[in-house]
Amino acid sequence: MKRHCLAILLLISAPVFAFSENDFARAMQTAKAKNRNIVFYTWSPHMVLSQRGLEELKFAPFPSNTDLIVLLDPDCDPKLAKQIIERNGWPETYGRQVKSETLLKKGVRIHYPTYIFSRSGGQLAPIVPGYKTTAQLERLAKRYLE
């Protein structure tokens, strides 16, 4: 009984938002219907460059019909992630942990950050791991989104 109470308290004190397979399917369907591109960006509070990459995304030269979906390392400490999100003034949605089987099978855990591009809700491009500068993001956008 005490273990259940402790587990409930932990869940209440550190809420985790998930990005499920249903969320993934809905995002892809919406992108296809509205001719929108998607960039999935997965970061970890344990990888400093993945945090820096979030700042670089503000200046990324993506086409205007591109939606950014920021996702969190599914294995990280959610309390630490929440602290970093609050400290940087980022949207709460940056704390959605990846639970989509499609994205997990694609390899988002290989390294943080990771980028996955989809043109108009179509097939996912190969995973792109590692921190990227604005110039590198521009080349990736031309390759995968135009």
Rounded distance, CA 24 to CA 74, Å?
A: 15
Decide: 86 and 8 in contact? Cβ < 8 Å. no
Of all residues in the chain, the percent with pLDDT exceeding 70 is 89
Reported as half-sphere exposure (CB side, CA atoms, 13 A), residue 27 has a value of: 23
Q: What is the pLDDT of residue 121?
A: 87
Q: Note the pLDDT of residue 16.
A: 53
Residues of the chain falling short of pLDDT 70? 1-16
The Cβ of residue 134 has, within 10 Å, a number of other Cβ atoms equal to 12
pLDDT of residue 138: 94
CA distance 9 to 70: 27
Q: Whole-prediction pTM value?
A: 0.87
